[in-house]
């Protein structure tokens, strides 16, 4: 076999899993986007307003701005975010754990069988926080803004030009990094542990019942651990954030605690649970399939 043929063969081996995971990831985003956005929209509204009355918020949004600008406010930004995220997320979710499995020493892998998932979660979280923070800031502004004018125009005028506008786009960057690291490591760890708990061998497919149970058992720790960080992120990135945007993360947590107590951190948890369950029911079988096909199908002891 010539060097050129070997190079072509190796290139195909590298590109095939990347392209397949990207295609499946984007398809999954398109399929789930409308419902995913609906849950995210009202979770964000509840967190911003601290009003847990979903019916009241739904009717107010509808009567004020109608279906698209009211109920689906921020949908255009959400489309951009989700398609972009799913395009890079799936190759990273499948291939980065495999990379860490190849470079980690055997003793470490034996003592911490899910460590490669945790390291992959940190890697994805750091990358994702930087590239998506401006999109998340605009989406959160669109979801909570009461003004009728263009979001970008409003932010530009409110921030006083290019310097303030650029800085505003990265508002909440620090708490977003923290939230993403907690979220990704938590999700990949529990997804891995729970899925392989139901498997007799790594190549076994999950049944529908097992997929549902995996989704529930992965959702519960995600809500309990991640929701407070998501709540603080919303406080930094929502429209009326003047009282919190200049605070440290620790002081922002203290502010919410003194004003609302522990329940304040879990405002909108019902919407988040529905959203996570919906996402997990789509993601778990896809994750399992791609991991068996291209990733590391390793039985956790």
Query: Whole-prediction pTM value?
Result: 0.76
> What pLDDT digit, counting tens, does each position of 158-196 carry?
666 777 778 878 888 888 899 999 988 988 888 888 888
> What pLDDT digit, counting tens, does each position of 206-223 carry?
888 888 888 888 888 888
Nearest-angstrom CA–CA distance, 284 and 212? 9
Q: Give residue 3's pLDDT.
A: 60
> What pLDDT digit, counting tens, does each position of 265-295 carry?
998 888 888 888 888 888 888 888 877 777 6
Q: Tokens in use for 250? A: 């620790």
Q: Give residue 122's pLDDT.
A: 92
Q: Give residue 14's pLDDT.
A: 64
Q: Give residue 297's pLDDT.
A: 55
Q: Could you count the other beta carbons within 10 Å of the beta carbon of residue 66?
A: 12
> Residue 130: CB partners within 8 Å, gap ≥ 6?
173
Q: Tokens in use for 88? A: 């890079």
In contact, 227 and 269? CB cutoff 8 Å:
yes
Q: Give residue 21's pLDDT.
A: 75
Ramachandran area for residue 83 (φ above 0: left; ψ -120 to 50: alpha; else beta): alpha
φ, ψ dihedrals at 184, nearest 5°:
-70, -45
In contact, 141 and 151? CB cutoff 8 Å:
yes
Residues of the chain with pLDDT under 50: 298-301
């Amino acid at each position: 076999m010539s060097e050129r043929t070997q190079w072509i063969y190796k290139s195909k081996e590298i590109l095939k899993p990347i392209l397949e995971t990207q295609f499946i990831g984007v398809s999954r985003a398109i399929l789930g986007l409308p419902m995913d956005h609906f849950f995210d929209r009202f979770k964000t509204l509840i967190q911003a307003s601290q009003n847990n009355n979903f019916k009241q918020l739904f009717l107010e949004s509808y009567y004020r701005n109608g279906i698209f600008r009211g109920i689906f406010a921020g949908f255009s930004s959400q489309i951009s975010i989700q398609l972009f995220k799913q395009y890079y997320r799936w190759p990273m979710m499948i291939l980065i754990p495999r990379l860490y499995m190849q470079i980690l020493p055997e003793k470490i892998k034996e003592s911490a069988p899910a460590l490669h998932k945790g390291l992959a979660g940190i890697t994805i979280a750091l990358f994702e926080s930087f590239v998506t923070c401006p999109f998340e800031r605009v989406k959160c502004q669109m979801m909570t803004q009461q003004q009728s004018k263009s979001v970008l125009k409003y932010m530009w005028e409110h921030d006083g030009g290019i310097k303030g506008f650029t800085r505003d786009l990265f508002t909440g960057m620090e708490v977003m990094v923290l939230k993403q690291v907690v979220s990704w490591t938590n999700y990949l760890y529990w997804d891995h542990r729970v899925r392989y708990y139901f498997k007799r061998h790594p190549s076994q497919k999950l049944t529908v019942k097992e997929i549902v149970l995996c989704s529930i058992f992965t959702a519960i720790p995600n809500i309990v651990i991640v929701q407070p960080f998501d709540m603080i992120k919303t406080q930094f990135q929502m429209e009326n954030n003047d009282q919190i945007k200049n605070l440290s993360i620790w002081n922002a947590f203290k502010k919410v605690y003194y004003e609302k107590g522990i329940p304040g951190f879990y405002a909108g948890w019902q919407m988040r649970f529905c959203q996570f369950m919906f996402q997990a029911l789509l993601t778990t079988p896809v994750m399992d399939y791609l991991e068996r096909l291209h990733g590391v199908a390793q039985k956790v002891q």
